[in-house]
Every structure is written in C-alpha cells, then in structure tokens.
Copies of this chain bind each other. A is one copy, B any other.
Amino acid sequence: MPRVRVNNIAMSVDGYAAGPEQSLDNPIGVGGHRLHEWFYPTRSFREMQGLTGGDEGPDNDFIVAGNRGIGATIMGRNMFGPIRGPWVDEQWRGWWGEEPPYHHHVFVLTNHPREPITMQGGTVFHFVTDGIHAALKRAIDAAGGQDVKIAGGASTIQQYLRAGLVDELEVAIAPVLLGSGERLFENLDGGPIGFDCTTFVATSAALHAKFTRIGS
C-alpha cells in the first residue's frame, strides 16, 4: 500500500516550523532560514540549486531517504506561493523556477481554481479545490504505487494529521529558539497519538526524529 509521508520538516526546539511575518521576501518568515542551516550545506540542497558538491553526511542521507519512493506531492497554497485570495493572474509558477525539484505531480490545496501548470522536468502543478481527501485520492492515483509526500506548510500537515491520514512523520529539529512563528504541533485536537518513534538521531546541525503510525 502507498504510504502518506511527512519528511524532513524543519522545526525549532521551541516548536516553530516557520518564523513570523511570512511574505514574498521572507517565504519562511523572519529567522526561518535558521531552521534550515542543516539543509543548505548538503549535496541534495545544492543539487536542487543546480550546483555540484556539498556535504554527504547523515543530514544529506535523511534528505535522500525522505525523497526516495515518493510518487506525488501535496502542498498547501502558501507553500506554493505568497499570493492570498483569488489568483490575480497566471504569472506565479511557484518558488522553484522553471524546473522544480519534484519531477512528478504536485497537488496544491486552494480555494481558488486554476488550470494545471506543466513545468520542465516532469513537475505538474494541479490546483485542488475540493479538500484534503480529494487531493490525497488524486495524489495516490498519480503516484503509481509509490508513496505520497505531504510537503507542508504546517497547517497542511496539521490537516492530514488531524484526519489520521499520515503514516510517517519525520521532523528535523534545529538547535535554535525562534521565539515566535508558525507552530508545527498545533490545532491537532489532542493528536497526534498512535505513533512510535522509529528513528532518533542527532547531527551537530539537527535532530532527526521519525515517527511511524503503529500498524502502518
């Protein structure tokens, strides 16, 4: 069975997955880059930027493993872009340039319909207006037997956790106190429960903690 996975979500020790005041200039909020200091030096991140080299240690291994076996991605509209409300025009095509690092079908949760966008390298952005269950069904179909990643942001992950639809939840805790921002573990109605910790490993730059739904 395909699994629904959340991998390598960066979080501060005080629980924030993004800094405050997210905007076009600060897509992950003020100070949010401090959550990703473990990520930037890795070979995987540099590859996403079209660069060579980079660290190949454990932090990189977690990124590689988190992307392995993923056949489709779901994300919230605010992860796709900074525009709120109706699409003013069709110009915004995501943060990632003409060849996004997904290379598969990506389902963007939104209240505002828009035609799919086919990017270079195999990424197709679809805009889903009929909710998280519909998006998951389409993503599972598109994944062709592989797993589905819930990429973020925090509120999208919370919606899938609240619905009990997540099989694997992996966070990367950065050695930072952010003080404010968007919490990852909030609005969960008493959950998540029913997860076992199956990985708990720290590098000097991040603690990688993976939780697996019991029985999944």
Interface residues of A (CB under 8 A from B): 13-15, 169, 171, 173, 175-177, 179-180, 183-185, 188, 190-193, 195, 197, 200-202, 204, 207, 209, 211
Contacts and interface: CB of A to CB of B under 8 A. Distances in A.
A173 B176 contact: no
Contact of A192 (B14, B183, B197): B14
B202 A201 contact: yes
A193 B179 contact: yes
Q: Which of A176, A177, A183, A192 has the most CB of B within 10 A?
A: A177
- Interface of A, secondary structure class, is loop
Given A14-B15, A185-B14, A200-B204, A179 B190 contact: yes
A177 B204 contact: no
A215 to B, nearest CB: 16
A37 to B, nearest CB: 11
Contacts of A193: 177, 179
B207 A177 contact: no
A209 B179 contact: no
A192 B207 contact: no
